Chain A
Amino acid sequence: MLTALAALEEAYARRGVPPAASKDRIDGPIDGPIDGRSGARALVVGYVGADMPVELLTAAGVRVFRLTGDPESDFALGDRYLGRGVDPVARSVLARLLAGSFGDLDRIVISHDCEASLRLFYALRELGRVEPGTALPEVYLVDILHLPHRTTARYNRRRIGEFAARLEAWTGRPLDVAGAVAAHDERRRLLAAAAELRRAVPARLTGRQFLAVANAPLPVHEHIVLLERLLAEAGRLDEHAGRRVFLSGSDHDTPHVYEAIEREGHVIVGEDHSFGDLSVTGPVGAGGLGTGGIGTGGLGTGGLGTGGIGTGGTGGLGTGGIGAGGLGTGALGALAEHYHYSGPTAHRATAGERAAYAAAAVRRCRAELFVAYCRAGDEAPAWDFPAQRAALDIPAVLLERQEYGRADLTALRKEHPCPM
């Protein structure tokens, strides 16, 4: 039998493709027929962006996976529709959508986690309007915002409620939010433990391996099973010496840059983007920014789950919804708070927040070199670098305006890697 790590890596190699239908109650095909037709398959939903409340997608029983780009395939069409000033990841995702690389998608949901995602949403919405020949699926925006204020909290709560209602309308079924949150919390708990394996000295996972472990496109329950096995097999994992690197900056939706850096003999033991450590948060309801701990809290009070739109059940969305339940009550309220304070990503946090996070994270993973990687078209991380460098007591290197999927490593090869 494959080791769990090998199985996760194999799954990761299939990223950007819908997970196979499973019998799993949470993620698999929904029990009942869609639209009253029997034998209808579960909706397949591709999502974009770090701020997607994936719990709601799980709760809706759809088959869901994160859309990722591919630096090796042509994205000229993405350039055309989005312009070349946008993060190439979004351009690549758009090109792949137009090429049908993601298989048959029923819906696309996009979060406003960065400017590139928002522009991707606008482009898809407009293509659907003016070029129906592109035959793109319906696209929906989940507008979660991040200013640390109550005005924003209230707005997010409303948007989460609207998204839940939209999902119920799509599937015709009530959401099992509590069950989905519990499953994702369990996955988070296991991912946090896997992150500790990478932080060990010497590291028991490479950065490249951790990307695979965290982003294997599996239904939550299948992912949980493999993560449990990975932890059980931890004693048999290889040890990885090499200079310990903290990778800051742009998102990495593919392993290319990790592979390039680790080929030089480094090990990436931590990072601050949404495909890596930033996806390893505390549980929903724990009150904001958890750092991979095994939290308390859990769901908050009350919750959804019973009844729902269209089924005439009891309670349902209305009670947890906007207005009625107030800001923080119920599973939806807890989710809204969780995503409000997720991060700190380069695109939504301030330079000061990013620097504070970097200083703590670098200590925690005992990194020896800090590498800020900024993709051309993704300018936010470059603004963080001066404050990050000032907050660190290890050498820091800035790689600016990097091509998608590549890293110019000359600066890392210098003996004193501090170019400024």
Chain B
Amino acid sequence: MPHVRSRSVTSLATAAEAGRHQREWFADLRRRVAGGEPFALLNADVPHEIFRTMDIPYAVSQWWASLVTAKQRSVHYLELVRQRGYPDYSEQYNSVTLGSAFDPEPEAGPWGGLPKPNIVVGDASGDVTRKIFDIWGHEPGVTFYPLESAAENDIPVNWWELMPHRWEEAVGPARLDLLTAELENLVRFLETTTGRRFDESRFREVMALVNEQEEWNRKTRALIAHARPSPLSVVDSIPSVMLPQWHRGTEWARDIAKRFYEEVRDRVDAGQAACPGERARLMWIGRGLWYDMGFYQRFQEKYGAVFVWSMYLAIAADGYIRYGDDPMRALAARFAAFSDQLYTPPWSSEWYVKEARLHGIDGVVHLVSDDPRGSYFTARALEAAGFPVIEIHADNVDGRTFDDDVVERLGQWLENVVMA
């Protein structure tokens, strides 16, 4: 496997602080779990807000997978999965984390290793996620709480306009009734198994903090969309958005979202640029390339091409905010169709076009991995709207799938299509 991997260079104070906080938080988490507190491992699309409200320590499966991958250990964990007889080519984003449960030396993992969870929660999306978590649930001392993944026939296209207040209309009552009921049951399950209380006023506070945090992200998104040249690239924005995203519902996360906004605003005011010679504004569609974050900066020097857009800030801006008097239903509305926002046409395709227009995008790089749906329609919609699209086929946590000629292909595309 010959691959040249590079580390990214980030310069944002909030990104550095978020990274520091993440390490401290994880060390504290390990202490708490070692001291006998419960520990939950949650899939990204699971309503973390319930665990936040009940002060049950948790970590996010995809965050752990991205850390493991950034530490170049994902193949090790996939081998552990394979050794148990399971496929190592299937839904790697979750199976990497499962692999860490099979590690005979967990403490050798990144940051001292992932503690053993008591509770894992995931939704039954696709054909494999539930199986993976269920297998985990058969490890001694682990209980798996599954949530459904439901689908709808007819949906209004303009979800990003409807979601903040008119989510009932966007998501539809069938899915909302289902997830609301599942969450009510989840609360009872957690009360019973952990002995912790679910306090309604605390829940409302958490929900309000989340909305505040994402509102700051919304303002930051607007700044970046309109500033020329771009004050930062996705290498800066991804950690500044995603690490706080895993802490949403805390004051720290809300406050750092605000500081992120201020830092970007100061950069814009000072005329600072990610790439002062900016000639092309690029959009990255797909999950982060965790094993090669330096990839995103590789096209700045030679071409003046800057990745100004990734889904992480944009979905924070559009995908989470939910207002309403019934907090449990509002929480269900945040997640009952969360991945549809990103992956299911027409929601996904129309949203990417809206975002490309908003950000003045010159070219779109589309990471196509096997599992997300709707790739063709995303590319088609962007191209129909006049945006050139190049596709790269690879898995975002399995570096073995990344072809060596991608950088060269992309360079040619920049020269011959985007800047021609």
Q: Please, which residues of chain B bring their CB within 8 A of the CB of A125?
A: 345
A147 CB contact (under 8 Å) in B138, B146, B151, B384? B146
The reply on A141 being an interface residue by CB < 8 A is: yes
Please tell me the size bucket of the interface on B: 35 or more
Is A400 touching B87 in the complex (CB atoms < 8 A)?
yes
Chain B contacts with A in 85-106, Cβ cutoff 8 A: 85-87, 89-91
| A151 close to B150 (CB less than 8 A) | no
Least Cβ distance of B133 to chain A in Å?
Answer: 10
Interface 9-mer from A49-57, A76-84, A179-187 = A76-84
Q: How far is the CA of A233 from the CA of B12 in the complex (A)?
A: 80
- B86 pairs with A81, CB closer than 8 A: no
Q: Does A159 contact B (CB under 8 A)?
A: yes
Are B135 and A383 in contact, with the CB atoms below 8 A? yes
Cβ of B134 within 8 Å of any chain A Cβ, yes or no, is yes
CB distance from A392 to the nearest CB of B (A): 13
Closest residue of chain A to B90, judged by CB? A379
B87 x A155 contact (CB < 8 A): no
Q: Is A74 an interface residue (CB 8 A)?
A: no
Q: In chain B, what residue has the closest Cβ to A347?
A: B127
The answer to whether B380 and A382 have CB atoms under 8 Å apart is: no
User: Once bound together, how far apart are the Cα atoms of A338 and B368, in whole Å?
Assistant: 38
Confirm or deny: B239 has a beta carbon within 8 angstroms of a beta carbon on chain A.
no
Contacts of B376 in A (CB 8 A): 80-83, 123
Whole-angstrom distance between the Cβ of B356 and the nearest chain A Cβ? 16
A155-B86 in contact (CB<8A): no
In the assembled complex, B107 has its CB within 8 A of some CB on chain A: no
Contact count A vs B, C-beta below 8 Å: 120
Flag if A379 contacts B87 (CB, 8 Å). Answer: yes
Contact for A351 among B134, B148, B149, B349, CB less than 8 A? B134
Q: Is the Cβ of A152 less than 8 Å from the Cβ of B148?
A: yes
Contact B151 A151 (CB under 8 A): no
Whether B373 lies near A351 (C-beta < 8 A) is no
- Interface pair A145/B174, CB less than 8 Å apart: no
Rounded to whole Å, the gap between the CB of A95 and the closest CB of chain B is 13
Q: Check if A147 sits within 8 Å of B148, measured CB to CB.
A: yes
Say which residue of B130, B181, B346, B381 sits within 8 Å of A151 (CB atoms): B181
Q: Is the CB of B373 within 8 A of A83?
A: yes
- How many A residues have CB within 8 A of the partner chain? 51
Per-residue contact bits, chain B 116-131, to A (CB 8 Å; 1 contact, 0 not):
0000000010111011
A323-356 contacts to B, CB under 8 A, are 346-348, 350-352
Residues from chain B with Cβ under 8 Å of A347 in the complex? 127
Chain A residues near B153 (CB-CB < 8 A): 140-141, 143
Q: Check B185 for interface membership: any CB of A closer than 8 A.
A: yes
What residue in chain A is nearest B184 (Cβ atoms)? Answer: A151
Q: Are A141 and B151 in contact, CB atoms less than 8 angstroms apart?
A: yes
Chain B residues whose CB sits within 8 angstroms of the CB of A383 once the complex forms = 86-87, 90, 128, 131-132, 135
Point out the residues of chain A lying under 8 angstroms from B124, CB to CB. 145-147
Interface contacts beyond A155-B150, A384-B131: sample of 17 additional A-B pairs, CB < 8 Å, sorted by A: A81-B376, A81-B377, A83-B376, A118-B151, A119-B373, A119-B374, A126-B346, A130-B384, A141-B151, A147-B124, A151-B148, A155-B148, A162-B174, A351-B134, A379-B90, A383-B128, A386-B84
Task: Give me the interface of B with A, judged by CB distance under 8 Å.
Answer: 84-87, 89-91, 124, 126-128, 130-132, 134-135, 138, 146-153, 174, 177-178, 181-182, 185, 344-346, 349, 368-371, 373-377, 380-381, 384
18 pairs, A vs B, C-beta closer than 8 Å: A80-B376, A83-B373, A114-B127, A119-B374, A123-B377, A130-B346, A140-B153, A141-B151, A147-B124, A151-B181, A152-B178, A154-B177, A155-B148, A155-B174, A346-B127, A351-B135, A380-B131, A384-B131
